[in-house]
Structures are given as C-alpha cells and as structure tokens.
Amino acid sequence: MVKAAVTAASIKVGELLSSQRHHQRGGCHHVLQLYALKLANTVLAVSVLRGDSKVSGTVIFEQESESAPTTITWDITGNDPNAKRGFHIHTFGDNTNGCTSAGPHFNPHNKTHGAPSDETRHVGDLGNLETDGQGNAKGSVTDSLVKLIGPHSIIGRTVVIHAGTDDLGKGDNEESLKTGNAGPRPACGVIGISN
C-alpha cells in the first residue's frame, strides 16, 4: 500500500513535469520543489491487524499537514461474509492482554459515541467495515477528526475490528453511546509510523 502511495506521487510529479513543459525551466523547478516539500511533510502510519481469530489485515493512515484531513485505507480479510463490523481507534497502544488492553475508543474531546459523519462522536469512531461475499473488506475514507500530527495524534494507539455491527450511537441503551454495541474484539494492531 505504501508503494502505491509512492507510485501515485511519482505519477503526480510526472503530470507536473508534462504540464510545465511550456513554461520556463525555472518555473517548473519551483513547482517540483513545492511538490517535494508537500511530500516531505506527509506523515504515513500503519496498523497491522492480528488477533485470536482469522481476521487480519492492514490499515494505512496518511496526513499532509495538521490542518489536512487524514486518508484511511484498509485491506482486511477473515470476517463474516456480507457483514458490517465495527471499526475503531482505541486509546492505548497496549495489546498485552489481547485487544481488550487497548482500552476505550479514543475520545480526547469527551464526546458520546457516534457515526463518522456525526458532529458528536469520538475521534476513534470510524463506523463499520462492509465485507464482500468472501468476508474481505477494502476501502478508503478521509476523516477530519483523525490526526497523525498534533496533540491528538492517533500514533501509538490501536485500531480494533469488532465482531459485531456498530449501531453508531443510535441504539436504545447506554452502551450504544459508549461503544455502539459493536461487541468483542477479534483483531487489532498498534498504529506506528511508516515510511
């Protein structure tokens, strides 16, 4: 996945070069310098998911600056087919007792649980993964609350895949506003800096 990001960056540089051919050589050089600076400031992080079940995969995070949204890309296998499974960032990067050591959802603003599109939600509320007929989930979203840069960085915290569907805080019990009733934690992984 990281190689794909580098390849995409190379393609963008190539596009910049070809779009600058009709301009002065110096102008093209400055555009490339600015683009290289943008790439140099981009932070990449990865979480490799494992657990007590057959669920496994990777989640890649990418953020260009503290004010930019974070792109979250996942490739996860081993879930039930045609299912929705809770997908969250939990507070601690501690997996010593399995995924339960990761603690509650990451919630630095002390909000109640919600959907990723809700104004009131935990930073760690990523909603549900949707699996295909083989139990695989691949996708990508951008999120303005999830940060790799700044005081509420998710680096060192844990991504957790749950065994149940997240009710997005719309359930009729108190647990809905804490966890979305997403259930057990079959797989998780600490979020670490990538290159």
Q: Considering 85, 121, 122, 157, which one is annotated as catalytic?
A: 122
Q: Any residues with CB less than 8 A from the CB of 116 and at least 6 apart, and which?
A: 125, 126, 127, 141, 143
Q: Considering 85, 121, 125, 157, which one is annotated as catalytic?
A: 125
Element (H, E) at 9: helix 2-19
Q: Check if 109 is active-site.
A: no
Kindly provide the b/e burial profile for residues 43-75, where b requires at least 16 CB atoms within 10 angstroms of the residue's own CB: bbbbbebebeeebbbbbbbbbbeeebbbbbbbb
Q: Considering 85, 121, 157, 162, which one is annotated as catalytic?
A: 162
Q: Considering 25, 118, 152, 185, which one is annotated as catalytic?
A: 185
Question: 181, exposed or middle or buried, with CB in 10 Å at 0-12, 13-18, 19+?
Answer: buried
Q: Check if 113 is active-site.
A: yes
Rounded to the nearest 5 percent, the helix, strand and coil shares of the chain are 20, 30, 45
Q: Check if 152 is active-site.
A: no
Q: Check if 88 is active-site.
A: yes
| Cα angle for residues 193, 55, 139 (degrees, 5° grid) | 60
Cα gap 2→73, rounded to integer Å: 10
Pair 183, 149: CB distance under 8 Å: no
Q: Check if 90 is active-site.
A: yes
Q: Check if 30 is active-site.
A: no
Q: Check if 122 is active-site.
A: yes
CA terminus-to-terminus distance, the chain? 11
Which residues belong to the active site? Answer: 88, 90, 105, 113, 122, 125, 162, 185
